[in-house]
Chain A
Amino acid sequence: MLLLIILAFFYGCATVVSKMINYRAAKVLGTWNGSLVNYVVASILALILLLFSPYLWSDLQACIKVPVYLYAGGTFGVIAFVLSIIALDRMKVFQSTILLLAGQLLAGILFDVIVFQNFTWIKCAGILLVTAGIFWDKKVTAS
């Protein structure tokens, strides 16, 4: 459990480094092409990794069987990206950060309850405490 928690924490750290690289890329190529680079290079890299992995055949078989809606993840990601480009420049950073987090947590809790069915009250208390800490920190740094 602890290892997984550390992994998720490092995932957040890597997100920031990735955002900084994407930001630089956007400075050179513009917002849209700068982001497209990420998708194109990642697709090629994932394809190469898949071709040289033992999962190629089982993935090909599985990808026909899974329900089509599970493929919507990429589409959701792009829509979220476009929406944030439209809205973020026109809002205060504090507000937009909190709203983005609220949306993520709201949907996250709903998914946990309905789909993953792994919701517990201790977990809920932990989430509340972390969220309150994040909110507080944003307030301190914004002032």
Chain B
Amino acid sequence: MINKGDLQIMYSFLVLLAGILQSAMMSFNGLLSESVSLWGVSLVVHASGGLLLILYIFVVVREKITLRGMPWYLYSAGFFGVLLVSVSSYCVTMLGAAVTTCLSVAGQLFISAVIDHYGLFHVPKVPFSPRRIPCFLMIFAGILLLNLS
């Protein structure tokens, strides 16, 4: 019998592993982009990932595969996929994996705060709390340091 604490440790480990794999993906794509163009990298990454996902859906999830029936603008997910893989591959080779990750998370926090504050994309409005200002200043100071290195 597995107890609840053990399960939590296992899930924590899985999330940590997911983070490691995400970083490894960025680095490998960056290395690949030293020989192959950014479009080529994007094609390889999405085609191999897509095939693997189809296999997983067939074998493990056992769900019917359908891609139709969404409003047209949601298909722009693929456009973002190409954009994100290309930009991250480029940044990793120029800035390194750790700095790219750091800056990307800082960007995520910033845009999330803007989206929440104005309630963009129909998310519930959450006004920006002044208590977050020192945190953002600290992040900004770190980015300035990165600019120096």
- Residues of chain A having any CB pair with chain B under 8 Å: 1-2, 4-5, 7-18, 20-22, 24-25, 28-30, 32-33, 35-47, 49-50, 53, 55, 58-59, 62-63, 65-66, 69-84, 86-88, 90-91, 95-96, 99-109, 111-112, 115-116, 118-120, 122-123, 125-134, 136-137, 140-141
Contact = CB atoms under 8 A, between A and B. Distances in A.
A74 B44 contact: yes
A71 B45 CA distance: 7
A137 B13 CA distance: 23
Contact of A75 (B52, B82, B105): B52
B75 A41 contact: yes
B103 A77 contact: no
A11 B66 contact: no
Given A8-B91, A115-B31, A123-B96, 15 more contacts: A14-B83, A39-B47, A42-B79, A43-B43, A46-B42, A73-B29, A73-B45, A78-B53, A83-B14, A99-B16, A102-B16, A106-B23, A126-B102, A126-B149, A129-B145
23 contacts: A5-B103, A11-B91, A14-B87, A33-B65, A66-B32, A70-B31, A71-B32, A73-B24, A73-B32, A73-B41, A74-B25, A83-B14, A83-B17, A86-B14, A91-B15, A100-B16, A101-B19, A103-B20, A116-B30, A126-B148, A133-B139, A134-B135, A140-B135
A141 B116 CA distance: 12
Given A39-B50, A63-B36, A123-B149, A76 B25 contact: yes
B77 A76 contact: no
Interface string B49-89: 11011101100010101110111001111111111110110
A108 B67 contact: no
Nearest to A90: B11
The B interface is mostly helix, strand or loop, or mixed, namely: helix
Contact of B70 (A12, A17, A28, A96): A28
Contacts of A80: 17-19, 21-22, 25
Nearest to B141: A129
B116 to A, nearest CB: 9
B110 to A, nearest CB: 7
Interface of B: 7-8, 11-12, 14-32, 35-37, 39-50, 52-54, 56-57, 61, 63, 65-67, 69-71, 74-85, 87-88, 90-112, 115, 121, 123, 129, 131-132, 134-149
